[in-house]
Amino acid sequence: MHSPANVPVPLKVLPHGKGLPLPAYATAGAAGMDVVSAEDVTIAPGARHAVATGLAMAIPEGFEIQVRPRSGLALKHAITVPNTPGTIDSDYRGELKVILINHGTEGFSIVRGDRIAQLVLAPVTQATWLEVEELDETVRGEGGFGSTGGVTALGN
Ligand SMILES: O=c1ccn([C@H]2C[C@H](O)[C@@H](COP(=O)(O)OP(=O)(O)OP(=O)(O)O)O2)c(=O)[nH]1
Ligand SMILES: [Mg+2]
């Protein structure tokens, strides 16, 4: 069941690599679509690589796609997305690439068709700037960067 705010949004995509599946939700409630590699590549320890996906798309205006790591790859192989969440703009028509970095101590081999990351479609609201003479007062004020205390629960 989809709530009115959760109607699937169609994404236009060019035909891509033969035999490669489109990014897909692994389960009914998945937030991200698993995206597969279009290439065979080994990422050396400490190295990073922009992995080809073969995907070129047109995201509707008012949305973006976020490229996020898969937690299993992060936990088991120390493979993550250094620019997470990667931003795919609605006006981008090039090939979506997944930047991966290997924080592990062994080379990590990817085979064409392996699920390397996940794509989350998200709404985007653009901002405009309004210059003012002063800002409204708040309890926080200019406090930040730990100003509310350390790791102990509030009220302790
Ligand atoms: O993980 C990513 C991140 C970006 N892109 C593509 C789509 C995105 O629309 C474009 C630009 O991304 P971004 O704005 O993050 O990169 P930039 O370094 O600011 O480049 P640009 O000057 O092209 O905006 O690159 C990817 O394919 N994968
Ligand atoms: Mg940019």
Q: How many A from CA of 86 to the centre of ligand 1?
A: 7
Q: Which two tokens stand for residue 75?
A: 């936990």
Counting ligand 1 atoms within 8 A of each CB, the residue from 35, 49, 88 with the most, and so the one to mutate, is 88
Judge whether 23 lies within some domain: no
By CB atoms closer than 10 A (0-12, 13-18, 19+), residue 73 is buried
Q: What ipTM was predicted for this assembly?
A: 0.99
Q: What is the pLDDT of residue 153?
A: 87
Question: What's the CATH code of the domain at 116?
Answer: 2.70.40.10
Judge whether 133 lies within some domain: no
Q: What is the pLDDT of residue 6?
A: 78
Judge whether 19 lies within some domain: no
User: Number of folded domains in the chain?
Assistant: 1
**Domain range for residue 51?**
32-123
Whether 90 has a binding-site annotation, put simply, is: no
Judge whether 109 lies within some domain: yes
pTM of this prediction?
0.94
Q: What is the pLDDT of residue 109?
A: 98
What is the spatial distance between Cα 62 and Cα 99, in angstroms, rounded to a whole number?
Answer: 24
Q: What is the pLDDT of residue 16?
A: 87
Burial 9-29 (b: 16+ CB within 10 A, else e): eebeeeebbeebeebeeeeee
Residue nearest to atom 20 of ligand 1 (CA): 87
**pLDDT < 70 positions in the chain:** 1-5
Instruction: Give the SS3 label for residue 22.
Output: coil
Q: How many A from CA of 112 to the centre of ligand 1?
A: 22
Q: What is the pLDDT of residue 45?
A: 98
Judge whether 8 lies within some domain: no
Residue nearest to atom 1 of ligand 1 (CA): 86
Q: What is the pLDDT of residue 5?
A: 66
Judge whether 14 lies within some domain: no
Judge whether 86 lies within some domain: yes
Q: What is the pLDDT of residue 18?
A: 85
Judge whether 69 lies within some domain: yes
Q: How many A from CA of 88 to the centre of ligand 2?
A: 9
| Cβ contact 93:40 at 8 Å | no
